[in-house]
Copies of this chain bind each other. A is one copy, B any other.
């Protein structure tokens, strides 16, 4: 069974009959519970070493930072302000006290960067390092994956493809010594959850998601939940990527558009807006139409379907 099918299985088994006060349960970036006149937004994310982080490519401090930001990014995607976080750590027997201090400092620095206190947690012993971070926040108006309508503008805040380029460079071992590649590696090591951008967009966005798994896969998820199709403009996507993306793509011999579409872990935000209601830190890259699936509009005006795949591997180009 695929991970998607397993998630569907869990959704079916774990979702009870409509529960009072639960606006959104399993299936969005975060859960939404009513609270007074506002909403609580609540998420959890696990980083397992070896799967999500290679210690050769990132220090424990980086790993602590990244795991915290990955969890907080789910709240950014909901237009929520984090109020606090819980950190549950599983530590292998070989993990030293100095290791623990480094990991905790990475988490503490990320928490401080977002102004989010870490208010509790749990310590367990296990076979491998895993870090589970739960973040709780509030949103005046939570932005869900469903809600985009035909005619809405699709817009992005943040970087595209840079983190994937940095990860790819680390994986190849030989690090080209350019400023843009250094920036790409730094983007992978130290992503930042776009909390302020998500909050600002919350008042007008019709739907939203964070691009943890890449634009192609996450836009497909938003389109499916909203019941729309999405047409992305290739030139605008490359413009969001900017000169850094073009340069690192060249150094890696990967098409920059492939990095932008299939590269994840930048934790950019994709949100949809009615025309003329785009939040100021977002750049339009396409629009919603009727139907389903996601498509790319090339410079020559032709349209092609985009495969809903993630950033697992990149075919090298000429």
Contact = CB atoms under 8 A, between A and B. Distances in A.
Interface string A1-41: 10100110110011110010110111110110101100010
Contacts of A24: 119
How many protomers of this protein does the assembly include? Answer: 2
A31 B83 contact: no
A88 B13 contact: no
Contact of A132 (B33, B128, B132): B132
A84 interface: yes
Contacts of A120: 25-28, 30-31, 42-44
Interface stretch (A99-107, A241-249, A290-298): A99-107
A104 to B, nearest CB: 4
A312 interface: no
Contacts of A117: 15-16, 19, 22, 25
A44 B85 CA distance: 10
Interface in A117-149: 117-128, 130, 132, 134, 136
A56 interface: no
A101 B9 contact: yes
A229 interface: no
A84 B33 contact: yes
Given A14-B87, A118-B26, A124 B19 contact: no
A42 B86 contact: yes
A33 B85 CA distance: 11
A48 interface: yes
A69 B31 CA distance: 21
A51 B92 CA distance: 12
A16 B112 contact: yes
Contact of A31 (B19, B28, B119): B119
Contacts of A25: 117-120
A90 interface: yes
A97 interface: yes
Closest A-B pairs by Cβ, 5 of them: A19-B117, A31-B119, A31-B120, A13-B104, A132-B132
Given A7-B123, A45-B88, 13 more contacts: A14-B87, A14-B107, A21-B83, A22-B84, A22-B117, A30-B120, A31-B84, A42-B119, A46-B124, A48-B90, A90-B130, A127-B127, A134-B134
